[in-house]
């Protein structure tokens, strides 16, 4: 992605953290903005419109939800609002850059993208699977369920967010950097035949080899790419400000090489950066990393 392909960029915040059990990622969009996102994007050459944050009715409590779907109504409403805003940006031929918020927001953003790109491919950078359903989730937290709902699995309420005519199939999503999967998620991934590159493959193949294989795989059926980047895919030394830290993640340069590789395809149509929790961070380090990574994904080159 670069400004020559699409100079119009829309920043959309979704400060939702009720899909998780820890509070704080609702502050993520503002932390990323304060880390200099808009200035960096303008320096690359984009015309940037920041639409602010969609309405989210967060609370300060955590309650176990009925049917193992915590805060379902609140999460659904926030995602519906995000769906509408991303859909509107796409109608204006703008590139949506979504700022989370917990990873449940991917339901709203990707459902809007599927409304415009039937052949959408998704690169899911995450330490976790996020493919639980209400039947398999140990916690009931919806930020661990977005992929299942996007593939037409699990709760009909989550599946129904935005539109119900297009879902992802197994050839439209690739996981990169997984290293903490629940037992139920492993079964779902195997049953659905989802492509997964764990940190074992990253170590064994090298990140360049992983990205080449991942992009070739998506390229068989997908002409457009969305990047869903959970900051916990990075090692906690690189990104301490996230709520579900798992040791042994990607290092700083591996993260950049991943996103530079996507940029070079020319197929990128949208992205989101999620799970930045400033309460757990050190001097906004994780938000600053998100801004730098966004630069690499959106065509910032040294030469």
Query: Which residues carry out catalysis?
Result: 103, 126, 128, 130, 143, 230, 232, 275
Give the CA count within 13 Å in the CB-facing half-sphere of 137: 31
Question: What is the rounded distance in angstroms from the CA atom of residue 151 to the CA atom of residue 132?
Answer: 11
Question: What is the rounded distance in angstroms from the CA atom of residue 218 to the CA atom of residue 246?
Answer: 27
User: In sequence order, what are the residues at sequence separation of 6 or more whose Cβ sits closer than 8 angstroms to the Cβ of residue 66?
Assistant: none
User: In sequence order, what are the residues at sequence separation of 6 or more whose Cβ sits closer than 8 angstroms to the Cβ of residue 48?
Assistant: 9, 10, 11, 38, 41, 42
What number of other Cβ atoms are within 10 A of residue 155's Cβ?
Answer: 20
Q: What are the structure tokens assigned to 82, written together?
A: 């995000």
User: In sequence order, what are the residues at sequence separation of 6 or more whose Cβ sits closer than 8 angstroms to the Cβ of residue 159?
Assistant: 149, 152, 153, 167
Q: What are the structure tokens assigned to 112, written together?
A: 């809007």
Question: What is the rounded distance in angstroms from the CA atom of residue 232 to the CA atom of residue 177?
Answer: 9
| CA 257 centroid distance within chain | 17
Question: What is the rounded distance in angstroms from the CA atom of residue 104 to the CA atom of residue 85?
Answer: 16
């Amino acid at each position: 992605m670069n400004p020559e392909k699409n100079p119009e960029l829309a920043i959309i915040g979704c400060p939702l953290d009720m899909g998780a059990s820890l509070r704080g990622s609702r502050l993520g969009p503002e932390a990323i903005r304060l880390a200099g996102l808009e200035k960096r994007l303008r320096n690359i050459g984009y015309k940037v419109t920041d639409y602010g944050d969609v309405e989210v009715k967060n609370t300060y409590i955590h309650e176990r939800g009925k049917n193992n779907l915590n805060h379902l109504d609140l999460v659904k409403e926030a995602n519906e609002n995000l769906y509408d805003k991303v859909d509107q940006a796409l109608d204006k031929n703008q590139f949506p850059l979504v700022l989370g918020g917990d990873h449940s927001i991917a339901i709203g953003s990707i459902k809007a993208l599927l409304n415009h790109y039937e052949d959408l491919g998704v690169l899911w950078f995450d330490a976790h699977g996020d493919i639980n359903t209400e039947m398999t989730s140990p916690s009931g937290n919806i930020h661990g369920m977005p992929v299942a709902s996007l593939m037409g699995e699990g709760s009909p309420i989550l599946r129904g967010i935005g539109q119900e005519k297009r879902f992802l199939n197994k050839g439209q999503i690739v996981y990169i950097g997984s290293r903490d999967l629940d037992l139920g998620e492993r079964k779902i991934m195997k049953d659905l035949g989802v492509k997964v590159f764990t940190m074992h493959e990253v170590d064994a193949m090298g990140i360049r080899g992983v990205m080449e294989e991942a992009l070739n795989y998506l390229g068989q059926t997908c002409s457009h790419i969305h990047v869903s980047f959970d900051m916990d895919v990075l090692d906690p030394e690189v990104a301490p400000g996230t709520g579900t830290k798992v040791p042994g993640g990607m290092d700083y340069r591996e993260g950049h090489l991943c996103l530079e590789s996507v940029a070079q395809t020319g197929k990128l149509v949208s992205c989101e950066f999620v799970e930045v929790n400033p309460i757990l961070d050190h001097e906004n380090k994780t938000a600053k990393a998100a801004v730098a990574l966004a630069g690499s994904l959106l065509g910032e080159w040294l030469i």
